[in-house]
Amino acid sequence: MSVKVAALTRSNPNHADINEFVARWSLGEASRRARVYSCALGQFFLGNFYAGGSMTLALAFNDLTLGYDRLPAVQRLQTEIHQGSLTAVVGPNGAGKSTLLKGVTGVLSPLRGKVEFGSLDRSDIAYLPQQSDIDRTFPLSVVDLVAMGLWREIGPFGWLGKKQKARIDTAIAAVGLTGFESRPIGSLSGGQMQRVLFARLLLQDAELVLLDEPFTAIDARTMADLIEVVRNWHKEGRTILAVLHDAETVRAYFPETLMLARELVAHGPTETVMTAENQFRARQMCEACEGSPHVCGRSAA
């Protein structure tokens, strides 16, 4: 962000500004709901097994290998993510889950293969990294950080007008942080910080949302509130990939699951992926990657 954006001050939006924001948001929602409705018809008539999803591809991983210093962290991944799907990415520690999200965003370039975008492209991505990846000592207030969600709209040297400030206020209110606008991010609890990051995602208004451990180290009330935000995104027809560790959360809220262990273990409906057999196999595959020599793969399981 530019100095101008980082030093933004808030103004009180009038009712006309808020009404215009709601009207613009509603137009977008009408378009998304029409898409979701058409997807539902496709599911009924064509037998599409993706509940809430569509036959349209959002992402395709074609023989994808990602890694660091030429050492693979994800190997030969071959699968597809459908538009409008709500997918948990699971696997043991070191399975390559976060690496996969970085490959989608373009932070990591493939060592082999590629990520293909179907109905979407990288400009449609909103990405939530792990909290440990964020420098909370940087002197930003809550409103400064949330305002960064408008980066694509206003650019590095843009100013925020009344309409943008009204949208920032609305996003902050949506995550339950009204009154926290001026607080430095370094003073926030883990749950409060995660709410701020979700408010920034709301402003990005992206079609593809990537969440890396969004519910780690937060309180139960915050988790419930943020899960509701994710469920609303799903209802709007957005495509969501979330790295998760808690199996019960995956089973309760995520209809699709992609299980990794450096390689693909399984991908499909959660009830068929989250089996004890698959989880045991994933642990074996990851344990084979530890130490030297670096031998990974299904043959190790």
- Residue 259's beta-bridge partner residues? 90, 266
- Cβ pair 105, 91 in contact under 8 A: no
CA distance 18 to 170: 8
pLDDT, one tens digit for every residue, the chain (301 residues)? 333 333 333 333 333 433 443 344 444 444 444 444 444 443 333 333 344 444 699 999 999 999 998 889 999 999 999 999 999 999 999 999 999 999 999 999 999 999 999 878 888 999 999 887 788 888 899 999 999 999 877 766 667 889 999 999 999 999 999 999 999 999 999 999 999 999 999 999 999 999 999 999 899 999 999 999 999 999 999 999 999 999 999 999 999 999 999 999 999 999 999 999 999 999 999 887 665 444 455 444 4
pTM: 0.78
How many domains does the chain contain in total?
1
Strand order in the sheet with 256-261: 125-128, 208-212, 239-243, 86-90, 256-261, 263-269
DSSP letters, the chain, are --HHHHT----PPPHHHHHHHHHHHHHHHHHHHHHHHHHHHHHHHH----TT--SSEEEEEEEEEEEETTEEEEEEEEEEEETT-EEEEE-STTSSHHHHHHHHHTSS--SEEEEEESS--GGGEEEE--GGGS-TTS--BHHHHHHGGGHHHH-TT----HHHHHHHHHHHHHTT-TT-TTSBGGGS-HHHHHHHHHHHHHHH--SEEEEESTTTT--HHHHHHHHHHHHHHHHTT-EEEEE---HHHHHHH-SEEEEEESEEEEEEEHHHHS-HHHHHHHHHHHHTTSSSS---SGGG-
CA-closest candidate to residue 160, choices 9, 3, 1: 9
Q: What is the CATH number of the domain that holds 291?
A: 3.40.50.300
**Domain around 153:** 3-300
